[in-house]
Amino acid sequence: MGSAPGGDILIYPVSHTPSWDQPSVPLSLTDFLEGGLDIMDESYVLTGQSLKICSSAVIAKKGRLSGEIMETIQQVTGTY
């Protein structure tokens, strides 16, 4: 979901239901600049869990989020 120092990518899980014990950011198809998820209902970014992976490990992407939703995720997680 975002770039981390060193060319790594910081990713968060997405679920159909919000978490009961961590912050969750609502995500809909209109939050994507291009592409999107294969869903029609709202989903949630589970911001309490993140994983850093090397950008070379990415083999495909489903879409690109808008700047507004990325800012929201960054504010909730404290990552900039």
Place of tokens 């490990």: 57
Judge contact between 35 and 64, C-beta under 8 A.
yes
Distances (CA, A) of 22 to 41, 44, 77: 21, 11, 10
Place of tokens 């879409």: 63
Domains assigned to the chain: 2-75 (2.30.30.110)
pLDDT tens per residue, range 54-77: 988 989 888 899 999 999 999 999
pLDDT tens per residue, range 13-46: 999 999 999 999 999 888 999 888 776 678 999 9
User: In terms of Cα–Cα distance, which of 70, 8, 58, 7 is closest to 33?
Assistant: 70
Query: How many other C-beta atoms lie within 10 A of the C-beta of residue 66?
Result: 13
pTM over 0.85: no
